[in-house]
Amino acid sequence: MIVDEKNHHYIRRIFELYGTGRYGLKEVAQILYDEGMRTKSGLMRRASHIHKIIKDPFYHGVMQKNGKYYPGNHEPIVSKMLYDQANEVLSGKLHPQSKRLAFHLRGFLKCANCTCMLTASKKKGHDYYYCTNGKGKCVEHTKYMRSEYLDGLVADKFKDLRIDEDLVELAYEAAKEQAHIGQSYVVQAKEKLINELAVARQKQNKLLDTYLAELVPEDVYKAKTELLKKEIISVENEIKKLETKTEGDESTLEPIKKFFLKGISARKRYINGPDEQKRIIVSELLWNLSIGNQKVQDLQFKSAYAMVAKNPKPGNLGEMLCSPPQYQNLYKV
Would residue 61 count as lying in a domain?
Answer: yes
Whether the Cβ atoms of residue 137 and residue 122 lie closer than 8 Å to each other: no
Chain Cα centroid distance, residue 217: 67
Residue finishing a domain among 91, 114, 144:
91
Whether the Cβ atoms of residue 73 and residue 97 lie closer than 8 Å to each other: no
Beta-carbon contacts of 118 under 8 Å, excluding residues fewer than 6 positions away, are 105, 106, 109, 110, 111, 129, 130, 131, 132, 291
Would residue 35 count as lying in a domain?
Answer: yes
Range of the domain at 25: 8-91
CA dihedral 114, 119, 122, 123 (to 10 degrees): -10
Q: How confident is the model at residue 324 (pLDDT cuts 50, 70, 90)?
A: very low
Segment 149-172 mean pLDDT? 78
CATH number of the domain that residue 72 is part of: 3.90.1750.20
Segment 263-291 mean pLDDT? 85
Give, to the nearest 10 degrees, the angle between helix 218-243 and helix 165-212: 160
Would residue 64 count as lying in a domain?
Answer: yes
Average model confidence (pLDDT) for the chain?
A: 79
Percent of the chain clearing pLDDT 70 (strictly above): 78
Residue finishing a domain among 249, 273, 302:
249
Would residue 156 count as lying in a domain?
Answer: no
- Total Cβ atoms within 10 A of residue 120: 20
Closest CA to 286 of 261, 312, 268, 267: 267
Confidence (pLDDT) at 128: 92
What secondary structure does DSSP assign to 43-81, as a single string? PPPPHHHHHHHHH-GGGGTEEEETTEEEE-SSPPSS-HH
What secondary structure does DSSP assign to 212-229, as a single string? HTT-S-HHHHHHHHHHHH
Does pLDDT of 275 surpass 60? Answer: yes
Confidence (pLDDT) at 108: 87
Beta-carbon contacts of 89 under 8 Å, excluding residues fewer than 6 positions away, are 18, 19, 21, 96
Beta-ladder partners of 119: 130
Least confident stretch, 1-10, 73-82, 135-144, 237-246? 237-246
Confidence (pLDDT) at 320: 41
Specify the number of domains making up the chain.
2
Closest CA to 16 of 83, 98, 101: 83
The pLDDT tens digits for 228-272 are: 888 888 888 888 777 665 444 555 666 677 777 777 888 888 998
Distance between CA 100 and CA 20 in Å, rounded?
13
Helix (H) or strand (E) segment spanning residue 151: helix 147-157
Does pLDDT of 48 surpass 90? Answer: yes
Would residue 25 count as lying in a domain?
Answer: yes
Closest CA to 99 of 14, 20, 31: 20
Would residue 116 count as lying in a domain?
Answer: no
Percent of the chain clearing pLDDT 90 (strictly above): 15
Would residue 141 count as lying in a domain?
Answer: no
Sign, Cα dihedral of 247, 253, 259, 263: positive
Beta-ladder partners of 146: 128
Would residue 227 count as lying in a domain?
Answer: yes
Segment 265-291 mean pLDDT? 85
The pLDDT tens digits for 99-133 are: 444 688 988 899 998 988 898 888 888 899 999 88
Distance between CA 255 and CA 257 in Å, rounded?
5
Residue finishing a domain among 215, 249, 283:
249
